[in-house]
Structure 1
Amino acid sequence: MNLSIIISQLIQKCINTLLCQLLKLRNRHFLIVDIIIFLITPSLALFLRLDGHVVWELYKPDLANATILFLIVKLGVFWNFGFYRRYWRYASIEELTYIATLVTATVVIQTLLFNFLEYIPHVAIEKLPRSLSFIDGLLSCIFIGALRFSVRAVERVYQGRGSCNSRERVLVVGAGSAGVSLVQEMQRNPQLGFYPVAFIDDDPRKLHARIRGISVVGDRHTIPDAIHSLEIHKVIIAMPTVAGEVIREIVDICKATGTHACTLPGIHEILNGRVRLDSIRDVRIEDLLRREPIQTDIERVSQFLQRKKVLITGGGGSIGSELCRQICKCRPAEMMLIGHGENSVFVIQQELEQLIQLLKEDGKAQKYTPRIYTFIGDIRDRDRLKHAFERFQPDVIFHAAAHKHVPLMELNPPEAITNNVLGTKNLLDLALQYNVKHFVMISTDKAVNPTNVMGASKRVAEMLVLQAAQKSGLPYVAVRFGNVLGSRGSVVPTFKKQIAVGGPVTVTHPEICRYFMTIPEAVQLVLQAAVLGRTGEVLMLNMGKPVKIVDLAKELIRLSGYEVNKDIDIVFTGLRPGEKLFEELFIKGEEYEPTEHEKLLIVKNASQIIPQSLDMIVESLCQAAIKNDGNSILFLLEQVVPGYKPKYSVNNRSSTSINSDDLAKLHENILTTVNPS
């Protein structure tokens, strides 16, 4: 073998060994090296101060005293402030600032001691220049900083020596904090198989800048050129707060080049603020519908819920389970989850227990962790519900249990009434009996000018909440919002199932529109409403622009890798019973005003639009529901909900109608109550 090759391999081996050993340095090793540095720097400082013209015999006694003094001060300050408990492998600007702060403190102390020692005989060090302390501190800062940051530099070199051929070449779109954090983790962990090649960013100030050793090569319009010239295998969109239109455009650009695009979750899914490689996932429809991030006053919500007993109905549902997750992080004393589906309640209970275990381990982040109770029961069963109140004595109630599917409730009005109306009434009666301080009911935009039984039943439930607030003077409120992406039975999971079997995707009407929110987004605003809501108010969430369902279907088909009406067809089936083309947000006669939160509106006169006959009609509604009398339910809803006009009668031959004389008498009583004259 050639001698030069042998020498080269030996040198390479020595370098690798040196790098490995340097990466193994621990704080005890740093302490030893620091002591050596601190013993040298005073002499070096004096040498520099006197331009090398040092008569060592003249300065030797004083220099020895100063060296010992400086050593004691530095080690005392560094040790007491935890300098030797730091992990320097991931040193950053924070650590550099930390070093500079500690060295400045030592310089100040050393200077004060210098001046003080002038007055002590036989210990004086008056022959030394007064600038010695400052120069010594500067040299110490340079040496100990260089030593520690050399570990970080060596790690980068060591990582860069690995082969890049076996890793996927990645183009990161977004050179903000999320993108930089992502690149940092890729560089730190090459075994994960990602090799960051370049950044893309629309900010012209960042163009051609180098961040963590890789360049910003252009804006989103240069993505195709960058993919081809840099041989990119994957594009990662690292912009968790950008609008959905931007995500859609980038995804389309990547598809046109045949390159796979991934993304980080939206900001609502990164609640802990950390960005990790395991957060990367395929682009979802939620990303394409993303709006500006909602600014939630987390601290205020946490203060509101901290050390309270919180009861959540429908705790196993889509909204209820997310409520549980976010409330759990707000440090309540206890949480009770009420639901009649044992499997869903069991799943969220297990998830919360895991979350609580993490919170216990993170003592700095959470001082308290809540106790979790589960209660399997139906809110329609008043006796069972009363047992829960006696056992738990809640301070706050979030009422998320409800029947929500419009077509099913059109065919089953008694279920809509017993669950949405009777269940809410039971909760409110017990909340007043047990002096519950706060009550938040989750309502729907379908309660606005309803055309279906589900919406009308939720409107009646809102009235019951407002009536309870009037009676008690307590902050009982209702919160309205639209469709929730990803909730059970919503259009997105339905469309995904239809696409998975090859289609067709069914849409009721080409012009049908709906308002959409993500589950975390909706729940954050519900929690904010609980803080801002006052006695007897309905709060509405600002849901942005409505989305055409057919556009939603087309985007999902494209995201699944198919072409619309070529691979997967879209079929229009016609509006279902009780379904609107367009959802409405405002009710005639209601007055709206903004709140402290830009995404929340208050219906300030909601409590004034409660019919005097409400109790009588609700009682009759519940009786009709118990007797499975759908036609009487429709009639009664028409009397109590302004603007509700049933479009058809419920044909149920097995139903037992309310006695016609009783119905006529009820109608007469309603009219008398509304128009006493």
Structure 2
Amino acid sequence: MINNYFAYYSQKYASKWLVLGIDLVSILATFFMAYFIRFNFTLGFDLTQFLVQLPFILALAAISFLVVGSFKSVIRHTGFTDVVNVFKSIVLMSFTCVAVVLFNRFADVLPGFTIPLSIIVMHALLSFVVLSASRLLFKMTYKHLKCKLLLTKRVLIYGIEDSAIATYNALLNNARTSFNIIAFVDDDVKKKGRSINGVPILSYNRLNGNYVDSNNIDEIIVADQNADNGKLMKLVDGLVDSDVKVTKVPPIEQWINGELNTKQIKQVQIEDLLGRPPIKIDNPNLLNEFRGETVLVTGAAGSIGSELVKQLSNFDVKQLVLVDQAESALYDVQQDLKRDGKHNYTAIVADIRDGLRIDSIFQTHKPTMVFHAAAYKHVPLMEKSPYEAIKINVNGTKLLADTSSRYNVKKFVFVSTDKAVNPTSVMGATKRMAEMYISCLQKESKTKFITTRFGNVLGSNGSVIPLFKKQIENGSPLTLTHKDITRYFMTIPEASQLVLEAGTMGKGGEIFIFDMGESVKIYDLAKNMIKLSGLRYPEDIDIKITGLRSGEKLYEELLANGENTLSTYHKKILISKTRELDYARVKSEIEELCITNRFQNNNIVMKMKSLIPEYKSNNSEYEKFDKRVNLYKKAKGINENKQDSNIFKSVK
């Protein structure tokens, strides 16, 4: 309440016209002081002449202030530019006054009217000192009262570059909260002992929980635009037991009219703490790759699909065709494109399992490139519905790939997952089967079929980050399936950029995998999210271990057994060398599986296992098939890695 009243009245009553009035009164007072000083601090001057000169000085001052506009600045934010404007006003007033006095001496327009030049000079000096000092005094008084009346936050600013100085100024000029900047933090130990605007520079090595607690630090604001993510992760980890809040200044290009507003300073996001530098793609060939192309994106309303659409819309494509069965989400993507001034797109509500509908879309729009991101991806749900997983992830991909081949599409880029590597779930197995099918199709098609694999995408629909955020908002414990579970992570923009880059470099038949750095321990990620929310673990929010879900892995892999990689011209993108397939048999059995009766879940899973030797169920009811097969092989002396449909028929 006090915050609101203080900010309201300080802004309402310190209007520019009030400032102008005070400035004019100050000009009259300093004019009197100039005479008083000139005559040895006595009133031994002609008061009648003085009173005649006052209106003239008042008029000149008013005109000068109005011309320069020095009274329009916000006094509590007075800076160097405002003092310069005061100086300009005084100079204009004084030179005009001298010109009028000299002109009157020669022309005698106003007989007997004159002002001693010494008075004019003294008046100018006194006016500049008084007006500048009054502004600075008001600013200091305002800051003092704000510290007394408003909530004061003790903060550290991480960084010493231009963005850090801008952050410092924005905090000091905030009308609703008082900030006490304790120190700037910098990585360079050589700057230790130096200061900026009287604020000391603290070495990064000294920033720990003890320093934060002993100095009662409320907030650490990361203003360094090039801050190392590894150091940020280390910083947050080291402050887990402290009550300090860690926030971050947005990139300069997001500042409002080039100026930072304290409302833009947000919590450090978990995306900032991947422990590796962000993956950046800067390939001018992308412009040529998509220029004039008609690009179809399936799953266009999903996390990856919508970001692909966003990035593709920035290229000079002929047309974007957006396909998704989620009507509301697709509408949102369409509205985003409209807001960005994009018009070369067509949004289509369609199901990729509908072959006739897909054929109609290809016939009408004639896409030259396809990015296939539509899929069912939730492991536990698909474990209970193998038929649905087959329909979308395998049959949907098959129909789309067949249609692309029939219409001679140049490139077909399939978005797969690391769960397809040595799959332990129905979902992972269906994605691996889709990879296998388009590999088979590559042998008989002019279309270049390209597969991309990557891990978990931060912030995507159904991923762990939104789940943790929702649980924190509700004040409930964070649910974690296993304390040692790890995952590879990348951001949505990173994933989409790499998909586009892989699509550009692909020659057909490759499976591209992405270097995502070290895998992240989800337990540590959960603790950091609690910390970044301004809460404490376990006092405020606890972490509950629920046990691995059906089909879930303890850790993910990017390469299957027997695979290795080839490098590409981009160090973050590698090509997986997969084992040779019996293309005719695999293609035939996948086609047969796509028409399997929906109620035959066991039969579906057994057929998938016969096609994918490395598919071993984990924490699932389908583990029984692996056990039977292993016993059968042991009894028959069959190689453990050999698996085919005949073996499953024998143990059925």
TM-score if structure 2 supplies the norm length? Answer: 0.68
Match of 2:602 among 631, 634, 657: 631
Of 467, 478, 487, 1:514 maps to: 487
Q: 2:439 aligns with which of 462, 466, 472?
A: 466
**Cα offset, 1:448, TM superposition:** 0.5
Q: Which residue of 1 aligns with 2:45?
A: none
Deviation at 1:319, TM superposition (A): 1.0
SS of the residue 2:584 aligns to: coil
Structure 2 unaligned segments of length 5 or more: list them: 1-21, 34-57, 74-87, 89-131, 624-641, 648-652
1:161, CA displacement in angstroms? 5.6
The answer to whether the aligner puts 1:285 opposite 2:270 as a matched pair is: yes
Aligned-pair distance for 1:7? Answer: 2.3
* Mapped contact 1:410–1:578 kept (Cα < 8 A): yes
Alignment partner, residue 347 of structure 1: 332
562, 569, 590: which is aligned to 1:618? Answer: 590
Residues 1:7 and 2:29 aligned together: yes
Asked if the contact 2:405–2:447 (Cα under 8 Å) also holds between the matched residues in 1, the reply is no
Write the deviation string for residues 430-479 of structure 1: whole angstroms up to 9, x where unpaired. 11111111111111001001111111100011112222333224432111
Alpha carbons 2:404, 2:447 under 8 Å: kept: no
1:179 corresponding residue in structure 2: 164
Distance in 2 between residues matched to 1:10 and 1:371, nearest whole Å: 72
Distance in 2 between the 1:623 and 1:214 partners?
75
Matches within 5 A, 1:508-547: 508-547=481-520
Aligned-partner SS, 1:471:
coil
The answer on 1:643 being equivalent to 2:643 is: no
How far off its partner does 1:587 sit? 1.5
Q: Tell me: CA distance 1:575–1:233, structure 2 relative to 1, closer, same or farther (3 Å).
A: closer
SS of equivalent residue, structure 1 residue 239? coil
Task: Quote how far apart the aligned CAs of 1:257 are.
Answer: 6.8
**Superimposed CA distance per residue, residues 25-64 of structure 1 (whole angstroms, 9 cap, x where no aligned partner):** xxxxxxxx9xxxxxxxxxxxxxxxxxxxxxxxxxxxxxxx
Q: Which has the higher contact order (CA 8 A, sep 6+)?
A: 2
Alignment of 1:545-624 (within 5 A): 545-603=518-576, 605-606=577-578, 608-609=580-581, 611-624=583-596
Partner residue in 2 for 1:658: none
Q: CA deviation at 1:607?
A: 7.7
CA contact (8 A) 1:333 1:370 kept: no
**Given the superposition, is the C-alpha separation of residues 266 and 252 from structure 1 closer, same or farther in structure 2, using an over 3 Å criterion?**
farther
8 Å Cα contact 2:393-2:431 kept in structure 1 = yes
Query: What per-residue deviation string (whole Å, max 9, x for no partner) do you get for residues 292-329 of structure 1?
Result: 12231243323322332111110111111111112212
Residue 160 of structure 1 and its aligned partner are, at CA, apart by 11
The alpha-carbon deviation at position 389 of structure 1 amounts to: 1.1
Q: Distance in 1 between matches of 2:255 and 2:557?
A: 31
Task: Write out per-residue CA displacement over residues 577-610 of structure 1, whole angstroms, 9 at most, x where no aligned residue.
Answer: 211112122112223111111111101x438345
Q: Identify the match of residue 293 of structure 2 among 285, 301, 308.
A: 308
- 3-state DSSP class of the match of 1:373? strand
Which piece of structure 1 moves more, 423-432 or 297-306?
297-306
Letter in 1 for 2:249: L
Q: Is the 8 A contact 1:241 1:293 kept in 2?
A: no
| Equivalent residue number for residue 302 of structure 2 | 317
SS of 2:321's equivalent?
Answer: strand
Distance verdict in 2 for CA 1:606–1:475, change over 3 Å: farther
How far apart, in 1, do the equivalents of 2:212 and 2:482 lie? 40
66, 69, 75: which one aligns with 1:20: 69
Which residue of structure 1 lines up, in the alignment, with residue 203 of structure 2? 219
Aligned length: 509
Whole-Å separation in 1 of the counterparts to 2:169 and 2:478: 42
Distance in 2 of aligned mates of 1:380 and 1:9 = 88
Q: Identify unmatched segments of 5+ residues in structure 1.
A: 25-32, 34-153, 358-368, 652-666, 673-677
CA distance in 1, matches of 2:285, 2:136: 46
- Aligned mates of 1:279, 1:397 — CA distance in 2: 38
1:431 alignment partner, one of 396, 404, 408: 404
- Percentage of pairs with the same residue: 37
Are 1:487 and 2:471 an aligned pair? no
Question: Within 5 Å, which residues of 2 pair with 1:63-462?
Answer: 163-164=142-143, 166=146, 171-176=156-161, 178-179=163-164, 182=167, 199-204=184-189, 206=191, 217-222=201-206, 234-251=219-236, 258-264=243-249, 276-277=260-261, 279-355=264-340, 357=341, 371-462=344-435
Cα 1:478–1:276 change in 2 (3 A) is farther
Paired amino acid for 1:217: I
Counterpart of 1:305, as a letter, is F
Q: Which amino acid aligns with 1:521?
A: E
Helix, strand or coil at the partner of 1:242: coil
Q: Aligned partners of 1:191 and 1:415: how far apart in 2?
A: 57
Deviation at 1:259, TM superposition (A): 4.5
Closer, same or farther: CA 220–512 of 1 in aligned 2, 3 Å: same
Contact 1:469–1:476 (Cα < 8 Å) also in 2 = yes
Q: What is the identity, as a one-letter code, of the residue corresponding to 2:345?
A: I
Q: Is the 8 A contact 2:243 2:534 kept in 1?
A: no
Q: Root-mean-square deviation (CA), in Å? A: 4.2
Residues in 1 aligned to 2:352 and 2:437: alpha-carbon distance in whole angstroms = 15
Larger mean CA deviation between 284-293 and 159-168 belongs to 159-168
1:489 shift after superposition: 1.2
- The residue identity in structure 1 corresponding to 2:516 is M
